[in-house]
Amino acid sequence: MVKNNIKVGLIGLGVVGGQVAKVLLERADMLSHQTGSEIELKKIKVLPADLGKPLAQFLPEQLFTTSDEEFFDDNEIDIVIELIGGETPAYDYIKQALGKNKHVVTANKEVIAKHGPELINYAASQGVSLYFEASVGGGIPLIAPLERDLKANYINGIHAIINGTTNYILTRMGDDGLDFDMALKQAQELGYAESNSKNDIEGIDAAYKLAIMATLAFQCQVKPEDVFHEGISSLNARDFKYAKELGYAIKLLAIALQYDNTIEARVHPVFIKQDSFLANVNGVFNAVSIEGDLSGHVIFSGQGAGPLATSSAVTADVLRACRDVQSSTRNRGIILSTQKVIKPVSQIITRYYMRLNINDSSGVLAKIAEVLGQHDISISSVIQKETDDLSKTAEIVIMTHPALGNAIENAIAELKSLEVVKDINTAIRVEEI
């Protein structure tokens, strides 16, 4: 039976919540036309402080509540949109709404990365759906393609730029020669990075998003703690200069690969060839390349964050939930393999770029080559970049052939103990995409 009036409850009136409220109200006619039912924003659950926001002043007072009971006990609400972010109390709110047989739409990457499969299956057991397109890549469709359009594929891998803040910082460092602190400051001034930007800078935000995509792509639960992450704060403008000279760009990539019964999931800075697609995704833009065995490489790109782009994904999920309300259908839950193993980063083999400060005297390069050789690391090229005649030190850049992660780690520890090695400034993986 078609329901003529579908009622929606919204939790949160932050930048995304406010924008979604606007879309639901301003586009009510268009959205209702698409679903064949009136879609009514019935209630917004807010914190007392939100009531002073300009948008709250502008909307009818009876729309707002600060009470959990009033919101969750409202039997008329069919669909709950959760847009407060963070794990707590968002996880409890989502669970409560599903427990009361309401469909849920969320943009919450942390909750979905940590609890996605459990919540999807709980929703199915309650006869409702949980949608989370906006949790990864803002306005870029990624979840629906992974759940539906690419479903016939065996997914070999995902290579993604899925954090706009870090991509902006790396672009400024690469294009304008800014150092990290200056580029971060710019990102903060432009409102891209949050004032506490740890999650962005250290790759945690990207790890959440990769865990969500990898779980759907590989049909095996990839938890945030399974994703190795390394941030960008130790990168130096010199690395960008040298990368360029060698024909590479530096990007923070989120990489998930599947082969046999093994999965690799990692987020870290990489050297990628300047002429590759991902090397040319700049500023706050995101891009995701997914390789299916049937589809080949499919690339999605666009605005990975921001209220407008995110409201596009959230509202589309609301429309999907409306169809579920009307047809009394729901997601079928998610069945995950327990057979696959996550490969530790120490066992992952890649080429490396290394930048070292060493004594500028005879026999030093031979000593370094010997240590690398002892760890089974073969050198592909060595370039002496700068020399300081006063301190008699030189900066060298080493490119290696493919080497094991733990071999590099052990070799670096040993090199650091050599008197002739003043500092190892960076070691960055080189990815062939």
Active centre residues (catalytic) = 209
**If residue 81 lies in a helix (H) or strand (E), which one and from where to where?**
strand 79-82
Shortest gap between Cβ of 22 and ligand HSE (angstroms)? 19
For ligand HSE, the closer of residues 50 and 200 by Cβ is 200
Q: Assign 85 to helix, strand or coil.
A: coil
Among 269, 304, 307, 405, binds ligand HSE (CB under 6 A): 304
Among 305, 377, 394, 427, binds ligand HSE (CB under 6 A): 305
Tokens of 206: 């990207």
Shortest gap between Cβ of 165 and ligand HSE (angstroms)? 3
Tell me how far apart the alpha carbons of residues 179 and 170 are, in angstroms, rounded to a whole number: 9
- CB-based burial, 219-242: b 16+ in 10 Å, e otherwise: bbbbbbebbbbbbbeebebbbbeb
Q: 292 with 166: CB under 8 angstroms? A: no
Shortest gap between Cβ of 207 and ligand HSE (angstroms)? 12
Among 157, 164, 174, 203, binds ligand HSE (CB under 6 A): 164
Amino acid at 29: D
Among 35, 106, 108, 165, binds ligand HSE (CB under 6 A): 165
Shortest gap between Cβ of 182 and ligand HSE (angstroms)? 18
For ligand HSE, the closer of residues 256 and 305 by Cβ is 305
Q: 23 with 96: CB under 8 angstroms? A: no
Distances in whole angstroms, Cα of residue 188 to Cα of each of 22, 86, 251, 265, 308: 26, 20, 19, 28, 19
Shortest gap between Cβ of 187 and ligand HSE (angstroms)? 9
* Residue 135: φ, ψ to 5°: -75, -20
Cα angle 44-47-49, degrees, rounded to a multiple of 5? 120
Shortest gap between Cβ of 209 and ligand HSE (angstroms)? 7
Q: Is residue 426 a contact point for ligand HSE (CB under 6 A)?
A: no
Q: Is residue 220 a contact point for ligand HSE (CB under 6 A)?
A: no
Amino acid at 276: S
Q: Which one of the spans 40-48, 161-169, 248-256, 348-356 is the region binding ligand HSE (CB under 6 A)?
A: 161-169
Q: Is residue 360 a contact point for ligand HSE (CB under 6 A)?
A: no
- Pair type for strands 64-65 and 79-82: unpaired
For ligand HSE, the closer of residues 6 and 213 by Cβ is 213
Cα angle 184-190-196, degrees, rounded to a multiple of 5? 50
Tokens of 98: 């599903």
Q: Which one of the spans 17-25, 160-168, 217-225, 267-275 is the region binding ligand HSE (CB under 6 A)?
A: 160-168
- Name residues contacting ligand HSE, limited to 176-205 (CB under 6 A): 200, 205
Q: Is residue 9 a contact point for ligand HSE (CB under 6 A)?
A: no
Q: Is residue 140 a contact point for ligand HSE (CB under 6 A)?
A: no
Tell me how far apart the alpha carbons of residues 120 and 124 are, in angstroms, rounded to a whole number: 6
Q: Footprint of ligand HSE on this chain (CB under 6 A)?
A: 163-165, 200, 205, 304-305
